[in-house]
Structure 1
């Protein structure tokens, strides 16, 4: 257990697992339909293949476009399929696109990426998109984000065209 002195003031805020499991099929359907424009600005479907099982995963995720690179943050276990880089497909703006996914798990690099997302979106919007709450509701520092990345196992996936 983490001692109070070492706890990070940044907290992960995630919806209940049951809500995500029930909502994901609807989001996948919406993003692949003509109504995709309702969510295109913030959500895409990441299509990945399990390295060991060969199973196809279709995962709705929030993203931020940073200079043409789609940036996704997650602590979900499926991300291990992207270690070392992986060819994936993404449903974005109603169409499926081939992309290259690079996974970053180093807490310092993840903290810098989170800080970039926060500076692009602004703290209030970024906190919702990233699923985090800062110290006393204020924007966290890079050091606080680094501690949280280590504590929660945060990672960053960068998607680029292939």
Structure 2
């Protein structure tokens, strides 16, 4: 699972909001699909740039992730590297493309757990819940010093 951090949580929420508000979405387009929309937020590249980079090699996001190489100078590998630098793991990208991470899905109401990977509203729900999960994980790691937890003493 992704490393919880503010940048990634914010990018997931911005992506979900933009999709909900009608941002271009096309599951078969490498720059306009689930991963492509998140990549736009994390890299500041547009959908056509991401798609063009991906088309320099074969395959969908799953195949691109399988062929990812940290030493490669392939543009799509640089995009993936930037996404990983934001806290994602390679498996997160595969799960995002298929909306299949069990940890995220089990948080959804039982009647909403069977998401369609190419349905905009399901992508919005998945990204929103993923952001919520990462936020909870981030907050759970924060420990305040004991002095902050003690009630303040007022001197009169």
Q: TM-score, normalised by structure 1?
A: 0.26
| Structure richer in helix, relative to its length | 2
Q: Look at both structures and tell me which one has the larger radius of gyration over its CA atoms.
A: 2
TM-score normalized by structure 2? 0.26
